[in-house]
Amino acid sequence: MQLFKCDHCNHPIYFDSAYCNNCGSTLGFFPEKMEMLALKVPNEGSFISHAYAISLNFCSNYSHDVCNWLIPADQTNPFCPACQLNGIIPNLSKAEYRERWKVIEQAKHRLVYAILRWELPLISKSQDWDKGLIFNFKSDDHMPPGSRVLTGHADGVITMNIAEANDVEREMAKKEMEEVYRTVLGHLRHEVGHYYWERLIMQSAYLAEFRQLFGDERESYQSALENHYQNGAPADWKKNFISSYATMHPWEDWAETWAHYLHIVDTLETAYSFGTKISPRMQQSGEYLSSDVDENAYYCKNFNKIIAMWMPLSIALNSLNRSMGSKDIYPFVINPSVIKKLSFVHQVIHSHSSD
């Protein structure tokens, strides 16, 4: 995520900012320009941008404090491109559910930011049920007693159990599943990877190369699922996969790799925004520990450069976390097989992007 500045006073602001701490301007993210905008006093109900001579309204979910995105004042749909993707939202009469929804929406808006950055196909199921995408955020209240909402994807429908937005419950699930990483944003990036497999790979010229790298997705998913939870991942899984879960089925390997590509690119954009340069103060550190994040990874066509920037940055981030007594922020090893898979994801995304 890039670092923004207030276009009224040039003070640093952030993607989630609602107002500028320096000049007091009301702020909103305008997806049509991919910019944070400072707004003038409402004019007959609409805001005016300091930077552009246009009237703007906040997304309807602004009233719930879960969205700060702007839409043109003459737009008939009251929701922004991110909130248009919502199908089911939690019961807002429950305060704890409202808080969980806010956490999920913040993560989902970051996900949609990446999709818009690359100009990948993005359409709501309300516009096209067959090709569209929809998010259903459910609590276990929707289920019979003793049952739980399962987070997952099916035919463009992404379902998330809102319990994932609770730090304690998510940590318990992480421990139960023996995972090294589990976040709301990570879930959303993974699940949307399944959707984009259907949109970008399934009936494309990339399918043969996908099968060569990830395996044949036509193998029984149910059998693979049962085998994974009965027998676990192969002992040598770290040689070819980014995570143990990726070993379950080619679809999961793709979704995990897709999610990691988004992790890497978005984190690198943040580092680029801050002018990050990794130059260890030690003798014979080797080039693998040095990096100048001098290009925005969202627009970098050279995948090798992305990896060259990421490896030192991830090591530095993990080292900083350890200094604070925390676990590694990126507890993964990117082996040569995973690099090939990440490169494939990079190629697919940029073949559909107009950057």
For position 319, what pLDDT does the model report?
92
- Give the integer Cα–Cα distance in Å for 155 and 216: 19
pLDDT at 288 > cutoff 70: no
CA dihedral 241, 244, 250, 255 (to 10 degrees): -90
Model confidence at 67, pLDDT cuts 50, 70, 90, reads very high
CA 189 centroid distance within chain: 4
pLDDT top residue among 284 and 1: 1
For position 52, what pLDDT does the model report?
84
Tens digits of per-residue pLDDT, 113-128?
999 999 999 999 999 9
Mean pLDDT of all residues in 89-100: 92
Tens digits of per-residue pLDDT, 209-241?
999 999 999 999 999 999 988 998 899 999 999
- Give the integer Cα–Cα distance in Å for 312 and 166: 32
pLDDT top residue among 285 and 43: 43
Q: What are the boundaries of each domain within the chain?
A: 4-79, 81-200, 206-355
Helix (H, G, I), strand (E, B) or coil at 283: coil
- Give the integer Cα–Cα distance in Å for 98 and 64: 8
CA 80 centroid distance within chain: 17
- Asked if residue 138 lies in contact with residue 159, where contact means CB atoms within 8 angstroms, the answer is yes
